[in-house]
Amino acid sequence: MTTPITSQNAKLPPLIPRARQKPPPAQSEPAPVTPDLPPPPSTFHFLKPTRRILSPQDHELFLSSPTYTLIVAFVFGVSDSVQSLPISAVKKKQQIDGVTKILEILDEAEVLLQAHPPLDTGSRFGNPAFRTYLTDIDSHLQAWHAKLGIQQDAVEEVSTYFAQSFGSSTRIDYGSGHELNFILWLLCLNRLGTLPRDSFPQLALIVFPRYLRLMRAVQSAYYLEPAGSHGVWGLDDYQFLPFLFGASQLVGHKFITPKAIHSALTLEECAPDFLYLDQVAFINSVKNVEGLRWHSPMLDDISAAKSWDKIEAGLKKMFVKEVLGKLPVMQHFLFGSLIPAVDGMSREEDGAPNGNSEHNHDHNHDATSWGDCCGIQVPGALGAAQEMKKRAGEGLRRLPFD
């Protein structure tokens, strides 16, 4: 005889809902503060910038040095100066004389492209004509810095950073480290009084976008490879600072949310006024697949943030941790008198620890990083896109990492 179901149910203990445990509150690390920009010293003893971070000990000395504070203060100070500020508002202001001259120099640097057309190699890797272009850039450095009013004994030091901002002639590549050299060039001009603090909004939203347009033209002409496999920060093949400056611009914006970067209409209408949107629109235009999720997953992830304040804070953390805080990046950093090393740091003329003064590999590689220091050779999206245009009817064999 079967037992009634009701009696079986009566023997079962009552179901008591399990109390939900609240997750522990997220420990969000605050964004680094913007230090006060120290005044420049009254006297300088100019010298050619050289590498001084040749070991982990050198790097530790740098991270606790006044120069570290100086760089963070300048980069974050320029970024903070454009918070909630569109490009059109800055263009209405009277232009600083030093800014006008820098724009003229960047215009002339772009004109030089016509004198050095790329060789028809049929390859989407770096074009060797880039080296002759850089040689021509070097030949103009004296005249350009004289136009800026830089004293003769300072030209060699200051111009080194500007020359480094175009990319590597050895590897025919360009990355966010070269972009950083452009900002260091502006920092040197600030130290010499050419770019006072009231020029900062114009540096971020007039000078820097002009530099971006120049480098896009250079990258398109010579198919510069990304320095490493995907740039130091993994945001973009080449740039980082347009995202930092651009996020600062959008802080508190009433209508443009982080998710708006997925809207083609928003990008089309607002990119001329906001660096972040302009850079996203440019990336979309050169990638051969559609959608940030496929070609720029980190940018796609960032777009889920609740506010531009969160994004700006996160980008500041990335700058200090993934750039200034990483030895494989900082071992290429150059120190002179305007951006000085500290006592106890190695000297390049004494030789790198492994005997290789050009590229010191005496460091550990982070398996989670993009390998900006020692990455494999990867063709840039610009090179692939330009070759595709040339072979419109022929097609181009796809590579798995395009």
Where exactly are the structural domains of the chain? 48-349+370-381
- pLDDT value, residue 30: 85
- pLDDT value, residue 391: 55
- pLDDT value, residue 396: 44
Q: What is the mean pLDDT of the chain?
A: 85
Contact 293, 301 (CB under 8 A): no
Distance of alpha carbon 238 from alpha carbon 380, whole angstroms? 9
Least confident of 160-174, 201-215, 302-316, 357-371: 357-371
Higher pLDDT, 82 or 233: 82
pTM for the whole structure: 0.83
Distance between terminal CA atoms of the chain? Answer: 72
Burial (CB < 10 A; 0-12, 13-18, 19+), residue 239, is: buried
Of all residues in the chain, what percent carry a pLDDT higher than 90?
A: 65
Beta-carbon contacts of 310 under 8 Å, excluding residues fewer than 6 positions away, are none
Mean pLDDT on 9-35? 69
Of all residues in the chain, what percent carry a pLDDT higher than 70?
A: 78
Q: Which residues are paired to 174 by β-bridges?
A: 226
Distance of alpha carbon 178 from alpha carbon 162, whole angstroms? 9
pLDDT bracket for residue 282 (50, 70, 90): very high
For residue 46, give the DSSP letter.
Answer: -
Q: Tokens in use for 362?
A: 């005496």
Q: Tokens in use for 385?
A: 């896109």
- pLDDT value, residue 20: 59
Provide the 3-class DSSP secondary structure of residue 8: helix
Contact 270, 256 (CB under 8 A): yes
Q: What is the pLDDT of residues 27-85, one digit of tens each?
A: 578 889 999 999 998 888 999 999 999 999 999 999 999 999 999 999 999 999 999 99
Q: What is the pLDDT of residues 157-189, one digit of tens each?
A: 999 999 999 999 999 999 888 999 999 999 999
